[in-house]
Structure 1
Amino acid sequence: MLRLTEIKLPLDHDESEIQAAILKKLQITAADLISYSIFKRSYDARKRGEIFLVYILDIETTQEKRLLQRFKKDPHVIPTPDTTYRFVAQAPRDLATRPIVIGTGPCGLFAGLLLAQMGFRPIILERGKSVRDRSVDTFGFWIKKRLNPESNAQFGEGGAGTFSDGKLYSQVSDPHHYGRKVLTELVNAGADPEILYINKPHIGTYRLVKIVQTMRAKIESLGGEIRFQSRVEDLHIEQGQVRGVTLASGEYIASNHVVLAVGHSARDTFGMLLERGVYMEAKPFSIGFRIEHPQSVIDRCRFGSLAGHPVLGAADYKLVHHCQNGRSVYSFCMCPGGTVVAAASEPGRLVTNGMSQYARDESNANSAIVVGITPDDYPGSPLAGMDLQRRLEEQAFKLGGGTYYAPGQLVGDFLNHRPSTTLGTVQPSYKPGVQLGDLSTSLPDYAIAAIREAIPAFDQKIPGFAMNDAILTGVETRTSSPIRIKRQEDCQSINTAGLYPAGEGAGYAGGILSAGIDGIRVAEAVALSMLRANEGILLNSK
């Protein structure tokens, strides 16, 4: 097959126009075209009011060899790459042990799924509840302010990504096309097939719940075992080799292969691993606020007269500003037509995040506006960044009145150094609620100064971004893990054999897609290691 790139068409076109564009580009007749499929569809909105859809198409034609020769110097006509996923191993029937996967976020789910598909019958341990029960607890917290530290927006089946926009795009290098495997499995579990080709695909929270349940059922049907409310309290290591885990219940489970996919908020687990001598180090992350604007303001700025076009949907943005104090401020986890949500997982600490449903039809757009920080800002132990997060979350809890209300401030008041006392035209979406006041004490002075400089700079790119009535809600501290658990090329910890740090919590992913990709990569490493270990056992027994 042939792949054609940079095929541009107007927003309102039909299928015949796609075919006509193919025939024109390749200079062939309709009889030469056997079929085509859409590999990717995005839009070019650099000129407001003159927006085009841009396609990457895979073509089957009777003239393939001739066309490849004819267009050999044209980078927009190439052979279609093979993105078929092929398993690296198959478990033998006499497999002596089973791998353990800790965590059922995107990384843990895909690690568990791949291991199950290869016949390794993984034991998957999740400290929280099943996604349905977890949803009840999470929405209950947002409405009634009753936090369950083991079942919330961070902990439980599906991980933190379940209560987000369900974004499925990433900039990670993916030479083996693992991302295609992730998207295909999500479609098999019930996601709309459009996620395979639209640019910046997303699923939405309510749809993710059903998809996660379907993936769990598939893992179990293949011999995997998923155990909820099974927090890992201890990791057993003998002479640098993992031997098993102990659960909070006291149960011990033996295994020489443990995938650590605990997410970025498993702070007690990080502390336990450090005590056990697992090598880790502090890494950069970011801190800041959530900002909300009317979605209509963002739509008009990005799309002009075409705002509201059904093909375009709710507009997003991506912004960055390099400040005079040397800091960088950028937008993160932008949620068009979404809400700001309570993402706390520890009593007495307050954290915000963003979420959208599939329709992205809420009245506000929200995004994190965050400042990059490095271990130089929190010197000390590998967990110093985590300690900083906790201090900021405790301060936010106090500023919100100690009731899980979030501290908030109007953008105009924030820029003019005055507390907010009344809301304007933008109503905050955060539940349980917002306590207006002064956010200047919620973050370090350098972060406040950087955000105050960045917002007017962002207004130059998106007029209205610095509108007085836009609202800031604090604090956003869990943009990524504050640690990295270093691993070797074979994905094992650099000083603990059989331990496979994976996903966002270990510092190797940032979002659903990249976490799923890392889960596949780690599952392959575990499978190959287990095969080698099993062959050694069989040789010794002979």
Structure 2
Amino acid sequence: MERQIIRINNIKCKPNDGLDVIRKKISKLLMLSKDDFVFEIAKRSIDSRHKPDIMYIYSVNVLKVSKKSLESVMKKVKDKSVLLTKKVYYELDDYKKANIELSEEERPVIIGFGPAGLFAALNLSRLGLRPIVYERGLEISKRREKVNTFWNGGALDTNCNVQFGEGGAGTFSDGKLNTQIHETTGRISYVLKTFVEHGASDEILYVNKPHIGTDVLAKVIVSIRQEIIANGGEIFFGTKLEKINLVKNEEARQVDSIELRDLSTGKIFTKNAKRVVLAIGHSARDTFEMINDLGICMEPKPFAVGVRVEHKQELINYNAYGEAVNNPKYNLPTADYKVTYQSTCTGTKRGVYSFCMCPGGYVVNASSEENALAVNGMSYSSRAGENANSAIIVTVTPEDFGDGVLSGVAFQRKLEGAAYRAGNGKIPVQLFEDFCNGVKSTSFGKVTPNTKGETNMANLKEVLPEYLTDCLVEGIHGFNRYIKGFDNGDTLLLGVESRTSSPVRIIRNENLYSINAKGLYPCGEGAGYAGGITSASVDGIKVCEAIAKELLN
């Protein structure tokens, strides 16, 4: 659905200005009384080019004007930053709500309860289609206990950890909601609005780089789960997909049933199902192996690997805001960064870039397999930690790791095994100066690790291949032109960052099901169709739409 609005761009305000200041500026631009219109903030970004003079830059939507049409208001406006346009709203009601009672085998089944599975289940439940969700990990309260036990030196549960469980890998992250996909259908705004309805701050609707934080995100996910159940959906935790059974149907194979293991008892049971959403996440390597053995069409895809880097957050704040960080009138957000560099040191151009930057956050042990170690970044909503951390990564392609369908998985496992050995089972950490020199660190400088999970000094050049370590050294030095002090000798490197995205894509057709298994809907990040919480959520919505069209129209 489209709605006519007046969009006003480039409204400049001091960080401590309130909504009353914005309203006055709108009033002046539109030549209206300040009480004659209804508006919403569409976007807010920070302009720190002239620090310490920091400005917030707003875009706003004027939705309604008292006793006047928007067209008549615009006739008097000459400012080019003001335009009459339309805003797209996503309407789930476009898909007729079910007035039918689906049989058990007709009810949609969803494998995985990360963002893609979450939104597929939510929208299917809102349409009255009573989805059934199976997730190998546990609900958040029990999952948090398992993860904290592991971080404190206990055993790893390979089915319930930072990668697997309610909310997916994003639950133990910064909860970033920015995305590279474009808003053309209103689905992105719908995702953000849904998070707000379930407890997130309404700031995520307009800040330039929205985030929730692991603590708030967990509560939001539980609230969404409760709505799904209230709408007639069912969610089973501790239940792992073991097999998909296909039958020949005319010219193609069709999903007929699935076999699942109850991890609490070890027993396997069969569930008849015609429509299965495969929202498995990027770390479900055993599931990739199973569907590859079934002959489901898949292909390897590029991804990126590297390390986490840690700096003092105060260094990042000062780089972003200068002396404005000491202005008591400004309540500036904890600063983040995004950096890219084109490396040429290996004779081949390779991009080196930051990914999933966590202001005031932690580097976490994100392992999901025995004798293997992977790291990720995590922040709480306050972003109040002493250090900033970010993945610094380099893209790798099948030319690097092999063109077999699962060669990327094997490459990840090789790196994670090397990281586990280098850190003797703990997160391997090294000062950047020592990394450049290829020697194991023996002590910390100004930066000490801020981690969830224990660390050990190591030489990360023994973990990553030389062509990647050379690119990382060149790139980190190159980033110093944007952030002074980025390549300080006591900057910390922690490894290995290997789960940036799925190493495979499960190929699907225009109807969003597998090109050689009707009724199997690859979905989200693990299937190779998303890259983060928001894009995975949007893909879950798209798969819901495809199923709804088939069942309801």
Whether 2:346 is the aligned partner of 1:346: answer: no
Whether 2:331 is the aligned partner of 1:322: answer: no
Is contact 1:6-1:76 (8 Å) kept? no
Take 1:130 and 1:419, find their aligned partners in 2: how far apart are those partners?
40
Instruction: List per-residue Cα deviations over 1:438-491 (Å, max 9, x = no partner).
Output: 111211111001001011100111001011111000100000000011111221
Counterpart of 1:411 in structure 2 is 432
Letter in 2 for 1:285: F
> Of 229, 232, 241, which residue of structure 2 is paired with 1:232?
241
Question: How far is 1:80 from its partner?
Answer: 4.3
Q: Compare 133-142 and 238-247 and name the one that shifted more.
A: 238-247
Is contact 2:90-2:187 (8 Å) kept? no
Take 1:474 and 1:327, find their aligned partners in 2: how far apart are those partners?
20
Counterpart of 2:278 in structure 1 is 260
Counterpart of 2:254 in structure 1 is 241
Aligned-pair RMSD on alpha carbons? 1.6
Instruction: List per-residue Cα deviations over 1:491-511 (Å, max 9, x = no partner).
Output: 111111111111000111111
Is contact 1:145-1:432 (8 Å) kept? no
Is contact 1:327-1:371 (8 Å) kept? yes
Take 2:376 and 2:220, find their aligned partners in 1: how far apart are those partners?
21
Take 2:65 and 2:50, find their aligned partners in 1: how far apart are those partners?
34
> Of 52, 55, 64, which residue of structure 2 is paired with 1:52?
55
Question: How far is 1:406 from its partner?
Answer: 1.3
Counterpart of 2:302 in structure 1 is 284
How does 1:173-188 map onto structure 2 within 5 Å? 173-188=182-197
> Of 468, 476, 479, which residue of structure 2 is paired with 1:455?
476
Instruction: List per-residue Cα deviations over 1:95-118 (Å, max 9, x = no partner).
Output: 341000000001101100000000
TM-score by length of 2: 0.93
Question: How far is 1:3 from its partner?
Answer: 2.0
Whether 2:15 is the aligned partner of 1:11: answer: yes
Counterpart of 1:196 in structure 2 is 205
Counterpart of 2:175 in structure 1 is 166
Counterpart of 1:365 in structure 2 is 388
Question: How far is 1:412 from its partner?
Answer: 1.5
Question: How far is 1:9 from its partner?
Answer: 1.4
Counterpart of 1:297 in structure 2 is 315
Instruction: List per-residue Cα deviations over 1:268-325 (Å, max 9, x = no partner).
Output: 0000000111100000000000000000000001111122665421100001111113
Instruction: Evaluate the alpha carbon distance shift between residue 295 and residue 29 of structure 1 in structure 2; reply closer, same or farther with a 3 A threshold.
Output: same
Is contact 1:58-1:80 (8 Å) kept? no
Whether 2:108 is the aligned partner of 1:102: answer: no
Question: How far is 1:47 from its partner?
Answer: 2.9
Flag the structure with higher strand content. Answer: 2
Question: How far is 1:20 from its partner?
Answer: 2.0
Counterpart of 1:500 in structure 2 is 521
Question: How far is 1:518 from its partner?
Answer: 0.8
Length, aligned pairs only: 529
Counterpart of 1:428 in structure 2 is 449
SS at match of 2:363: strand
Question: How far is 1:146 from its partner?
Answer: 1.4
Take 2:238 and 2:313, find their aligned partners in 1: how far apart are those partners?
39
Question: How far is 1:39 from its partner?
Answer: 2.2
Q: Compare 428-437 and 204-213 and name the one that shifted more.
A: 428-437
Take 1:354 and 1:377, find their aligned partners in 2: how far apart are those partners?
25
Take 1:380 and 1:270, find their aligned partners in 2: how far apart are those partners?
15
Is contact 1:165-1:203 (8 Å) kept? yes
Whether 2:60 is the aligned partner of 1:27: answer: no
Instruction: List per-residue Cα deviations over 1:218-265 (Å, max 9, x = no partner).
Output: 100100000011100001111211112100232111111110100000
SS at match of 1:479: coil
SS at match of 2:484: coil
Take 2:477 and 2:47, find their aligned partners in 1: how far apart are those partners?
26
Is contact 1:234-1:245 (8 Å) kept? yes
SS at match of 2:98: coil
> Of 213, 237, 251, which residue of structure 1 is paired with 2:269?
251
SS at match of 2:146: helix
How does 1:368-517 map onto structure 2 within 5 Å? 368-401=391-424, 403=425, 405-517=426-538
How does 1:139-154 map onto structure 2 within 5 Å? 139-154=148-163
Whether 2:46 is the aligned partner of 1:43: answer: yes
Q: Compare 151-160 and 421-430 and name the one that shifted more.
A: 421-430
> Of 68, 89, 94, which residue of structure 2 is paired with 1:83?
89
Letter in 1 for 2:390: S
Instruction: Evaluate the alpha carbon distance shift between residue 208 and residue 308 of structure 1 in structure 2; reply closer, same or farther with a 3 A threshold.
Output: farther
Take 1:151 and 1:30, find their aligned partners in 2: how far apart are those partners?
54
Whether 2:224 is the aligned partner of 1:215: answer: yes
Take 1:428 and 1:254, find their aligned partners in 2: how far apart are those partners?
49
Is contact 1:41-1:53 (8 Å) kept? yes
Instruction: List per-residue Cα deviations over 1:76-103 (Å, max 9, x = no partner).
Output: 4223414242332322324341000000
SS at match of 2:474: helix
Letter in 2 for 1:90: K
SS at match of 1:38: strand
Counterpart of 2:264 in structure 1 is none
Instruction: Evaluate the alpha carbon distance shift between residue 257 and residue 504 of structure 1 in structure 2; reply closer, same or farther with a 3 A threshold.
Output: same
Whether 2:146 is the aligned partner of 1:137: answer: yes
Question: How far is 1:144 from its partner?
Answer: 2.0
Take 1:514 and 1:259, find their aligned partners in 2: how far apart are those partners?
16
Instruction: Evaluate the alpha carbon distance shift between residue 30 and residue 423 of structure 1 in structure 2; reply closer, same or farther with a 3 A threshold.
Output: closer
Instruction: Evaluate the alpha carbon distance shift between residue 28 and residue 287 of structure 1 in structure 2; reply closer, same or farther with a 3 A threshold.
Output: same
Is contact 2:92-2:123 (8 Å) kept? no
Take 1:277 and 1:72, find their aligned partners in 2: how far apart are those partners?
62
Identity rate, percent: 42
Take 2:410 and 2:498, find their aligned partners in 1: how far apart are those partners?
11
Is contact 2:372-2:416 (8 Å) kept? yes
Take 2:76 and 2:244, find their aligned partners in 1: how far apart are those partners?
60
SS at match of 1:191: coil
How does 1:264-275 map onto structure 2 within 5 Å? 264-275=282-293
Letter in 2 for 1:328: G
> Of 42, 60, 71, which residue of structure 2 is paired with 1:65?
71
Letter in 2 for 1:34: F
Take 2:400 and 2:154, find their aligned partners in 1: how far apart are those partners?
33
Is contact 1:107-1:515 (8 Å) kept? yes
Take 1:494 and 1:516, find their aligned partners in 2: how far apart are those partners?
22
Is contact 1:408-1:436 (8 Å) kept? yes
Is contact 1:108-1:519 (8 Å) kept? yes
List alignment gaps of at least 5 residues for structure 1: 533-542
